[in-house]
Structure 1
Amino acid sequence: MKAITANRLRDGVVVFLGADAAWVEAFADAALFAAADADAALAAAKAQAEGEQFGVDVYAFDVETENGVPVPVKMRERIRALGPSVRLDLGKQAAA
């Protein structure tokens, strides 16, 4: 599976493409795509983000399931999904 991410242009916040093609801040709300469908979804997301001047650095990344929960495969995307790794009282992990 794959998910699509970007940085919101107005404030730099990490966002993920949601199921209804809207950008969401929580990885839990991100749409997941089969590898075969990810390229088309990524192309559409890039066009949308550029056309709306909404986001930059739009790319797809691998997702796996751990204990029934989707999680990013690589550490970079795990950090982007949770927030800063130096303090657990900051970022998205502080709200959990």
Structure 2
Amino acid sequence: MAAPKKPPLPVILMANDLIDGEVVFRTATGWSSEPREALIAGNAQAADALEAEGIAEMSRNKVVDAYLVDVVLGENGPQPRHFRERLRTLGPSIRPDLGKQAQSVIEPRGVPHVSL
């Protein structure tokens, strides 16, 4: 069986807190809900170490669904390259007036609604 495909570098480690379900990012001191505080792995060795830490934290029941996310480095810190992960950093999308998206500098477009 082939090894799982790794995301392109640089990467950060994203997970969900086991207690409250909040999206969290691995930092030098633990976990944070702020993506700008995330540890950034710029080479394969650092990415492997970050991934191993995520697996260890899942086995200690600290977080669930820890995985590496490829990012672009910007002035506001690492930004996920893919829409799914960018959306996860903002929080639930059904109420733009609540959660992380209410604090975001991103302006909502159009009338808020849920597609059926």
Structure 1 position 30 matched with structure 2 position 73? no
- Runs of 4 or more off by more than 3 Å in structure 1? none
* Number of residues of Structure 1 aligned to a counterpart in Structure 2: 93
Q: Give the distance between the partners of 1:40 and 1:29, measured in 2 at CA.
A: 17
Superposition CA RMSD, Å: 1.6
Which residue of 67, 73, 93 maps to 1:59?
67
Bigger proportion of residues as helix: 1
Paired residue secondary structure (2:12): strand
User: Could you give the per-residue CA deviations for residues 4-40 of structure 1, whole angstroms, max 9, x where no partner exists?
Assistant: 01111111111110133x0101111111111412122
Which residue of 14, 22, 30 maps to 2:23?
14
Paired residue secondary structure (1:38): helix
Q: Give the distance between the partners of 1:74 and 1:40, measured in 2 at CA.
A: 22
Paired residue secondary structure (1:45): helix
What stretches of structure 1 of length at least 5 have no aligned partner? none
Q: Paired residue for 2:98?
A: 90
